[in-house]
Structure 1
Amino acid sequence: MNYAEICIIKRDGKKEDFSISKIKNAITKAFNATGIVDEDKLIADVTMRVIGNFATSTITVEEIQDLVEKELMKIRPEVAKKYIIYREWRNTERDKKTQIKHIMDGIVAIDKNDVNLSNANMSSHTPAGQMMTFASEVTKDYTYKYLLSKKFATAHQMGDIHIHDLDYYPTKTTTCIQYDMDDLFERGFRTKNGSIRTPQSIQSYATLATIIFQTNQNEQHGGQSIPAFDFFMAKGVLKSFQKHLTSFLGFHLSMDGEAPEEKSIKTLVREHITSIKPDDYHREMLCMAMTSLRVNLKKEVLNRIIEKAYSSTRKDTHQAMEGFIHNLNTMHSRGGNQVVFSSINYGTDTSAEGRLVMEELLSTTMEGLGTRGEVPVFPIQIFKIKDGVSYSEEDYLKAMSDFEGAMSGKIRFSAPNFDLFLKACQTTAKALFPNFMFLDAPYNVNDLWRAEDPKRYRYELATMGCRTRVFENVNGKKSSLGRGNLSFTTINLPRLAIEAKIKAENLLETSNKDALEKESKEAFLKSVQDMAKLVADQLYARYQYQRTALARQFPFMMGNDVWKGGGELEPNGEVGDVLNSGTLGIGFIGGHNAMMALYGESHSHSQKAWDTLYEAIMQINKVADAYKAKYSLNYSVLATPAEGLSGRFTRMDRRKYGLIPGVTDREYYINSFHVDVKEPISILEKIKKEAPFHAITRGGHITYVELDGEAQKNVKAIAKIVKVMHDEGIGYGSINHPVDTCNACGYKGVIYEKCPVCQSENVFRMRRITGYLTGDLSTWNSSKRAEERDRVKHH
């Protein structure tokens, strides 16, 4: 071929004459970057091989670069890697000049692209949503250029890692928190425009809970959680009951002509009635105490008044729970019509007040929102399974022998809240929540927990958001209260596996499968360890930056001691060590895809693949433990709940390595250690395969199963699945099933293409995206929509 006739097509479409020197110079730079010099002959040979592969007289710059990579990989893989990295970096730098403009244009035009749909909880097409998205993209660019070191910025932009919430990086804020709401209620708290005193009724308790949610959400970018909702609301129930009892007693006595001051009656009621279901002794004590007011109160009269007060309190509690759920689904906390990313944990308060809270919460969740009973998206509800409290094997067997009787309340159980466990299963079958947290999984146990401790919730694990777990603490008590996640960053496991396989093939130059797999595995595990160290260093750098924030940047969270220790800070003082109770999460994604890259087999049916994935996560744990000891910080391993990320890594790796079956051939990577969503696996096998990973991902994890059909018609099946999770050592689990509503006639059930009643195609489809629910799949990004389509049902 006559080189003078060759035409090069540049990236902007323009043409230019061919130049051998440009190829030779690029290859020389790659050799020099690797530290290899005086290889002019080899460089010339590679250059001629590249040119010799030209198939036509017209070729693009990208095609030439692909040929350079291919030829370098044959002779000097380490040089090829430097060339690839440099090429990717140049692409990134080149894209910066036009990418922001392109992104901004998409926001203005409210395109349905993955930038606008990166958060299914945000309406990015509204003016406030557009402003949030504008700000997000601009601050990410600012973070790349001015805040991240080149090493970390390069790793993120190349797709080796993903630094989450980069748009919030400059604000120095933290991710999420678990509220000690009892402390807040007892002390009262301040907002921007005034102080709030201790609430005096269940309605006030529930309303103030939503205010705390909404206010603190504006000072963090992640989840907000109440770790013991039942315990915290119980005091409000008792106060409402005492208030009603005082009022009804006063009214009765006034009808009889005996009218002591209400304040005097209230004092005696509070002194002697400490439960909404007082026993005979306390009833008699109140009757006797009333004689001090010169009142002869008959016990049968008191019993009727107590019954009426209880009925009114139940009604108040139901309305309070109804208002709580409605507020959390309508009260916007940030731009883009975002409601609070809220979670509540409950299940272990055995008091009559706490039980009433749970009963009415579950009832109102089943009733749903609005006139058509829409399934509430928030709060994410988590029911705590605790042996002897909300669950027992004996009670389970009783319930299974007569499930209808168990659900109707005809069976007495030994565990005081087992009936609420059954109601939780019934609610899950209809509304997808609550999820289930297993407190007796060995890694979830706290030795300080005592059944007789009225504040035992302090030693119970709670979770938030999609799966964030904050429990162990090298700088304080093992507890979830008043703490949260500081930040987390995710490792691209499939890329490490792909490169390990390439390295092994180039190193061994053999077709021996066992030898290749052994070498690939060793290279993979080593690269996982190295990447985990990079992430640990990056998290530490971000932590050091977060420490410099001033307390006044978080007036509610620090000023009210919501984040424990913040209340001791001066407004202009740095938060510093107050943050050291938080967690730093080393996350990972694509375990399934990584195993497919190494072995061509999934860890769901290949033991060597399962073992390798487990070893890889243990490598991350070793790094987390080492850095925990080095810095005395709470490093943890997170099974990342990827929403936008699942597609980002895949797109980048497909461009870099091409279409690899089982690895880059879809629009998304599989979440964390999860079995492939397309895998036809039974419920029991899926749970067994995933359960051991929960113990080694203590920054957060979840296992879900996908059901077909109308689960609300088979509550018994839900209870069986929860038992399997309990028995197999799952830490946190959820159950997915279709929840569809016809917008035309209101029919609820599994709807395929058309409503079976009115034939309408206008259907609202409620689904779980990562750990939270969303309706209307059009709000999901393209990768998660593709994943949802691929999900098989488990049997």
Structure 2
Amino acid sequence: MQITKRTGEKQDFNKQRIVEAIQKAGGTDKIAEKVANRIQEKLINNEIEPSVVNIEKNVVLLLIENKNKDIALSYEGYRAIQEYKRNKELRSEFYNILTKPNRENANKNSYLISTKKGHILDSFIQNEMLTHVLPRKLADAHIDNKMKFHDLADRYFGSINCCLFDMKNVIDNNPVINGLLYDDADSIEAYLGVLSDVLLEASSQEYGGFTINEIDHVLEDVLEKSYEKSITYYKNQLGDKVDEETIKDLAMKFVERAFRKRWNGIETRLNSISNSNMQVPFETIAFGNRTSFWAKFVTRIILETRLKGCGKLHQTAIFPKIVFFYRDEIHGEGGINEDLYNLAIKCRSKRNYPDFLSLDEGYCGEIWKKYGYALAPMGRI
């Protein structure tokens, strides 16, 4: 006859365990045998569920029925001690989280109260995963470091890992965040504001990396529209006072100023503000494969922003991780994007990023040649 342990593991029923537990609680051999035999009968007759928890509850009830209240109370105390021993390690971990920095994830600032709360929840859920959810063999392998479940607690909630996010489709079709339908993002300032909100919220609903692919393509249309709106604005304001080239120059300077300021703000935010996963989003952006004027404009300013550095001290930004798509056809000598490739090399030499990803070779090269799709890392479709 098999019973279910607290961990969910099955084991053979052993009546002697009940006898010994009642004896330790002060029960005589006669009382212990009587109660243990009755529990065995109940199990055989399917009167109680075959689990450790239900067996212990029924032991207490039978002791009380047989007018052994003191023994029942003592048995309950014995159970409480055993439960205390089982939970002592978990409580100790909670205490360590409250008093010591946790360096398991460099993206999480373990000195913040919100992060401490999250770490305690993670510890509780990890314990639940290892005792009740994962098959015993897998849980033991994780505990013994024979294998490792990355972000174990997050698996409990059924969330996904490493999302390759279709940011353009989401923003162009008005995202809904916490029940609020966003208005049309018809300027670069509004568009990047929505992008930042969506990034922080969407990255909170998964764990691991979060990738915006071909951000030069994501932003090129809205930049062009902002430029056209700026031309209309300056024409209305200045009329015939200046020529058309001056109008275009003013519009271009406005769009570039606005984009630089907003992108610098996003980069600062991504290195300082945590999402609801208690971490700065592990964000990757990829670009460099598009050749339109506005796509190249996006790539140039993102690289120049990274070169400048983040914040007042011009520190090297960690996020977003930036990836430069390379194709010899457009980035090699005389190619239309050769200037951007040279700028990317300069940025790499000073600020660690971008990483370079070939669309001529390897798996990503195969995808590009077969489908015409530039596939960024740290995200899955």
Alignment TM-score > 0.5, same fold = yes
Contact 2:289 2:374 in 1 (8 A): no
The Cα of 1:419 is off from its aligned counterpart by 0.8
Question: Partner letter of residue 103 of structure 1?
Answer: E
Matched, 1:199 2:185: yes
Matched, 1:368 2:309: yes
Question: Partner letter of residue 264 of structure 2?
Answer: E
The Cα of 1:220 is off from its aligned counterpart by 0.7
Contact 1:446 1:460 in 2 (8 A): no
SS in 2 for 1:223: strand
The Cα of 1:335 is off from its aligned counterpart by 5.4
Which residue in 2 is equivalent to 1:252? Answer: 238
Q: What is the TM-score normalised by the length of structure 1?
A: 0.36
Counterpart Cα distance in 2 of 1:104 and 1:331: 25
Contact 2:283 2:319 in 1 (8 A): yes
Which residue in 2 is equivalent to 1:100? Answer: 90
Which residue in 2 is equivalent to 1:461? Answer: 375
Which residue in 1 is equivalent to 2:338? Answer: 418
Which residue, 243, 250, 255 being the options, matches 1:313?
255
Matched, 1:124 2:110: yes
Alignment deviations for residues 212-259 of structure 1 (CA, whole Å, 9 cap, x no partner): 111112211111110111110111210110011111122233x56xxx
The Cα of 1:369 is off from its aligned counterpart by 1.9
Counterpart Cα distance in 2 of 1:96 and 1:125: 28
Distance 1:123 1:208, change over 3 A: same
Question: Partner letter of residue 375 of structure 2?
Answer: L
Contact 1:228 1:346 in 2 (8 A): yes
Q: CA RMSD for the aligned pairs?
A: 2.3
Counterpart Cα distance in 2 of 1:388 and 1:322: 31
Counterpart Cα distance in 2 of 1:207 and 1:222: 23
SS in 2 for 1:124: coil
Alignment deviations for residues 549-597 of structure 1 (CA, whole Å, 9 cap, x no partner): xxxxxxxxxxxxxxxxxxxxxxxxxxxxxxxxxxxxxxxxxxxxxxxxx
The Cα of 1:184 is off from its aligned counterpart by 1.4
Distance 1:447 1:152, change over 3 A: closer
Question: Partner letter of residue 322 of structure 1?
Answer: N
SS in 2 for 1:222: strand
The Cα of 1:446 is off from its aligned counterpart by 4.3
Question: Partner letter of residue 384 of structure 1?
Answer: F
Matched, 1:209 2:195: yes
| Mapping for residues 495-574 of structure 1, pairs under 5 Å | none
Contact 1:449 1:460 in 2 (8 A): no
Contact 2:172 2:184 in 1 (8 A): yes
Contact 1:203 1:236 in 2 (8 A): no
Which residue in 2 is equivalent to 1:568? Answer: none
The Cα of 1:105 is off from its aligned counterpart by 2.0
Matched, 1:177 2:163: yes
SS in 1 for 2:284: strand
Alignment deviations for residues 528-555 of structure 1 (CA, whole Å, 9 cap, x no partner): xxxxxxxxxxxxxxxxxxxxxxxxxxxx
Counterpart Cα distance in 2 of 1:312 and 1:449: 38
Matched, 1:380 2:321: yes
SS in 2 for 1:135: helix
Which residue in 2 is equivalent to 1:587? Answer: none
Which runs of structure 1 show a deviation greater than 4 angstroms over 4 or more consecutive aligned residues?
Answer: 94-97, 446-450
Which residue, 407, 416, 427 being the options, matches 2:347?
427
The Cα of 1:388 is off from its aligned counterpart by 1.0
Contact 1:384 1:437 in 2 (8 A): yes
Alignment deviations for residues 232-287 of structure 1 (CA, whole Å, 9 cap, x no partner): 0111210110011111122233x56xxxxxxxxxxxxxxxxxxxxxxxxxxxxxxx
Contact 2:323 2:355 in 1 (8 A): yes
SS in 2 for 1:345: strand
Distance 1:238 1:439, change over 3 A: same
Percent identity at matched positions?
21
The Cα of 1:448 is off from its aligned counterpart by 6.4
Question: Partner letter of residue 372 of structure 1?
Answer: L
Q: Which runs of 5+ in 2 are unaligned?
A: 1-83
The Cα of 1:449 is off from its aligned counterpart by 5.1
Question: Partner letter of residue 248 of structure 2?
Answer: I
SS in 2 for 1:176: strand
Question: Partner letter of residue 219 of structure 1?
Answer: Q
Count of residues in correspondence between the two structures:
299
Counterpart Cα distance in 2 of 1:95 and 1:437: 52
| Mapping for residues 566-605 of structure 1, pairs under 5 Å | none
Counterpart Cα distance in 1 of 2:292 and 2:175: 26
Which residue in 1 is equivalent to 2:148? Answer: 162
Counterpart Cα distance in 1 of 2:176 and 2:88: 46
Matched, 1:352 2:293: yes
Which residue in 1 is equivalent to 2:133? Answer: 147
Distance 1:181 1:142, change over 3 A: same
Contact 1:217 1:340 in 2 (8 A): yes
The Cα of 1:331 is off from its aligned counterpart by 2.5
